[in-house]
Amino acid sequence: MIKRRLHPAWIAALVTFFTLVATSGFRAAPSILIVPLHTSFGWSRSSISAAISINVLVYGLTAPFAAALMDRFGIRRVVMFALMIVGTGAWCTQYINRPWHLMLLWGFVVGGGTGSMALVFAASIANRWFIKNKGLIIGILTAASAAGNLIFLPGLSHLVTRYGWKSVSITVATGAFLMVPVIFFFLKESPLHAAVKPYGAPDDYQYPEIVHRKAGREAIDTLVRASKVKNFWLLCGSFFVCGLSTSGLIGTHFIPAAMDHGMVMDTAASLLALVGVFDVIGTMASGWLTDRVDPVKLLFFYYFLRGLSLFLLPSILFRSIHPSTLVFVIFYGLDWVATVPPTVILCRRILGPQSGTVVYGWVFAFHQIGGSIAALGGAIIHDQLGNYALAFYAGGGLCLIASYAVLQISRDPVPEVVTSR
């Protein structure tokens, strides 16, 4: 009997999945720290959320350069270095006593480290290792971010309640440092380094030419070329709204908003973790659908239904868990980052597959700019009005606008782009 050897692509995907699980856990921590830091130091929610806003913004702006750095220096080196940065920043956070300390460490340091991994890392692995089922793989790897929330949020919330907020910093730092040897020993750089073809590649497959360019120049050149394509700006605008309505608005402010209605932190964190459970299902299903359905149509439905759900949220938060709250959590979870697989595929159509990851890096930067604005803007609205209702209504309206905008994306085939390298 002949045993079939497991294709190395699946090992690469598995290692990437667990790395992204850990990374999302690192990024989930700030939403739990808003109320404890306010209680411990008396800082306003807007000053604490400013650090989260910086984190989200730096996370996004790092992405296109991280994608180019991965092409230039290799995925393994970039990810290991990023994990060391995250660990250092998180460990030092336990010594803060001023708002600007939090902005520096959790905003710039941890934001830059996590931005060098995350969804750009997922797109890079999918593009290098898979020819067949690429949309499904992107969906699975994207779902890792949801799995991280599922695993970390309740546990981190329990740590804050029992041991204080500093325990979160120690836990995040330890997790980041422990992931470094996992990347070093188990993640291969590419199919070429493993002496195999990408999964699903035809017999006559030819490895793409390896071209070494300065990472910064590649990122900027790609932006200049992509900026001349209308589809690029439509994807940037819609993904801006995606970031605003997910990580920026719900990811940052759902727990404080629920606590404003009398819900205890552990319960609110568990609900947000439940969003993560259904996000895993929704994102994997979206990846499967992306291989079979027009991605433009998928994006329309995702944004339209998300907008409607945000309009309902202020009226369904209570002291305890109600059925209507659970319905929101289930639906929002299914829709959370279901937008990623179709967006990644559409990014590959702008300048072709070779530039797809860097193009997605720039589109993802707009995602994080939206998240950054919502993280800070939601806190300012709360400080001024005493609740988050206006922030949720504004997010819902922008989602409806995004649902119309994505319908304007052209279905034209990828143009033949000639570049000098």
What is the predicted pLDDT for the residue at 149?
Answer: 63
Q: What is the distance between the alpha carbons of residues 365 and 370, in angstroms, rounded to a whole number? A: 9
What is the predicted pLDDT for the residue at 271?
Answer: 87
Q: What's the mean pLDDT in 309-334?
A: 87
If one counts every other C-beta atom within 10 angstroms of the C-beta of residue 122, the result is 28
Q: What band does 195 get if pLDDT is binned at 50, 70 and 90?
A: confident
Helix axes 75-93, 166-186, angle to 10 degrees: 160
Q: What is the distance between the alpha carbons of residues 227 and 50, in angstroms, rounded to a whole number? A: 29
28-39 tens-digit pLDDT:
777 788 888 888
Q: What is the distance between the alpha carbons of residues 287 and 237, in angstroms, rounded to a whole number? A: 21
What is the predicted pLDDT for the residue at 214?
Answer: 57
> Does the pLDDT value for residue 391 go beyond 90?
yes
Going by C-alpha positions, the residue among 263, 118, 102 that lies closest to residue 168 is: 102
What is the predicted pLDDT for the residue at 306?
Answer: 94
The CA-atom distances, in angstroms, between 72 and each of 66, 80, 218, 363 are 10, 15, 9, 20
| Domain 8-201+212-406, classified CATH 1.10.3720.10, yes or no | no
Q: What's the mean pLDDT in 387-400?
A: 94
> Does the pLDDT value for residue 53 go beyond 50?
yes
Going by C-alpha positions, the residue among 136, 395, 399, 405 that lies closest to residue 296 is: 405
Q: Which of 147-161, 222-236, 241-255, 315-329 has the lowest mean pLDDT?
A: 147-161
In the three-class reduction of DSSP (H, G, I as helix; E, B as strand; rest coil), residue 356 is classed as helix
Single-letter amino acid code for the residue at 327 = V
Which residue's entry shows tokens 């608005």? 249
How many angstroms separate the first and last alpha carbons of the chain?
49
What secondary structure letter does DSSP report for 412?
P
Q: What is the distance between the alpha carbons of residues 24 and 106, in angstroms, rounded to a whole number? A: 14
The ranges assigned to domains in the chain are: 8-201+212-406
Q: What's the mean pLDDT in 315-344?
A: 86
> Does the pLDDT value for residue 332 go beyond 60?
yes
Check the CA dihedral 207-210-215-221 and report its sign: negative
Angle at 338 between CA 75 and CA 142, to 5 degrees: 25
Going by C-alpha positions, the residue among 194, 246, 197 that lies closest to residue 374 is: 246
What is the predicted pLDDT for the residue at 71?
Answer: 75
Give the list of residues 6+ apart from residue 260 with CB closer than 8 angstroms, or none. 317, 382, 387, 388
What is the predicted pLDDT for the residue at 360?
Answer: 86
Give the chain's length: 421
Q: Which comes out higher in pLDDT, residue 31 or 401?
A: 401
What secondary structure letter does DSSP report for 353?
G
Q: Which comes out higher in pLDDT, residue 99 or 190?
A: 99
